[in-house]
Structure 1
């Protein structure tokens, strides 16, 4: 099995893609590319059994309805424009589910800068649908699954904070040390150096590992009452089993 992880940014320069090959002996990182353009991402996803994308796959349904009503000049103003009303516009169902499970709060795709990568992601999903002839399921049931590397690392008992940006290179290297100790069956090979140097590369590898968990059914899935929202807003797959269970 081949899984792919995509740490998606608004521009190629901060986007990383990792390919992880799985066999009876374990897993091997086949390649890591930092500076991935749209063509590379699309071809990588099409060639994998499952791909994990670190980016929201959709926007909150209530936010979409609000913007549409605002454009038409027909906004129904609730009684009391308080924090709860704004939060409902800012957070998806899956964002709340991740927070309840892990204590981590994903960035709001409707109220934070992650909206820029999400716009790129929406275009990529449309292109994938056009080239494969199949609409990409945002709930994780098809070619791709939405992932959140920090949540995956936390659920696997690994360091999950403070390793971003060049000034935290030592912390990033520590994450790689702990990951390899926890998964001695995982080989980074010639790509270990870039994973220690680039948090984008490291997150792409974690995304590929989470894609494997999703392919094996070892991640959270929407409850029946969450299914409709997950189909339009996206669903973050959080691992439900140990890292060792991926072998």
Structure 2
């Protein structure tokens, strides 16, 4: 199996890309890079069995409706005292709330934070990846799944806060390799130690493996309609050791 991880940013130079090749008892990073272009991402994803993208794949349905309504000047203000909850539904997707409840981590708001710039790019990539113009699933049941490296690291018991500060990515690499002795970063280890974008891409590829092997959360039947529109963050549902075959 081949999994791909993409730490997607609005600009190529901040986008990380990693390819992991899996065999019984072993996983090898066969490629990792920074400055990933749309063409490079598309090529890598198409050659993979599963790709994890660290970026929202959709917007809150309430926000989409709000913008469409506001275009015609028909927005109704919230009732007194309900403003905070009203704004929260516009800012956060169902999957963001699920992650918050499960991990205590709060994903960036795709409609209110700068991550929206990367989401514009992600929407274009999904269109380019769609076969024969058929919409690509945003719920994670197709070739692409939305992932959240910090939440994946939390689930695996690894440092998930603060590692993006200068020099700390190297410490996380050491912890990751200790926790997953079957993982080889090969010649890309120095890059992962100095760049949290490259490291996040590797973690995204590991999370994609969890989703591909049914070791990650999936939306319930009740959650699926919203996930199909807004996207679904797949959280690893087991330890790192479960990712490799015995």
- Fold shared by both chains (TM-score > 0.5): yes
Of 205, 221, 229 in structure 1, the residue corresponding to residue 226 of structure 2 is 229
- What is the match of residue 31 of structure 1? 31
Aligned-residue offset at 1:52: 0.1
Asked if 1:75 is matched to 2:72, the reply is: no
- What is the match of residue 153 of structure 1? 153
- What is the match of residue 3 of structure 2? 3
- What is the match of residue 123 of structure 2? 122
Of 179, 194, 201 in structure 2, the residue corresponding to residue 197 of structure 1 is 194
- What is the match of residue 203 of structure 2? 206
Of 160, 181, 185 in structure 1, the residue corresponding to residue 182 of structure 2 is 185
Aligned-residue offset at 1:163: 1.3
Aligned-residue offset at 1:76: 2.6
Contact 2:57 2:122 in 1 (8 A): yes
Aligned-residue offset at 1:182: 0.5
Q: Deviations over 1:72-122 (max 9, x none)?
A: 222133313611110010010000000000000000000000000000000
- What is the match of residue 42 of structure 2? 42
Aligned-residue offset at 1:134: 4.0
- Consecutive unaligned residues of structure 2, counting only runs of 5 or more, are none
Q: Deviations over 1:150-203 (max 9, x none)?
A: 0000000001111114xx21x211100010000000000000000001000000
- What is the match of residue 84 of structure 1? 85
Q: Distance in 1 between matches of 2:62 and 2:9?
A: 25
Q: Distance in 2 between matches of 1:35 and 1:181?
A: 28
TM-score (norm 2): 0.97
Runs of 4+ in 1 over 3 A off after TM superposition: 131-134
- Consecutive unaligned residues of structure 1, counting only runs of 5 or more, are none
Contact 2:127 2:133 in 1 (8 A): no
Q: Distance in 1 between matches of 2:84 and 2:22?
A: 46
What is the aligned length?
A: 243
Higher mean C-alpha deviation, range 14-23 or range 71-80:
71-80
Aligned-residue offset at 1:136: 1.1
Q: Distance in 2 between matches of 1:232 and 1:44?
A: 24
TM-score (norm 1): 0.96
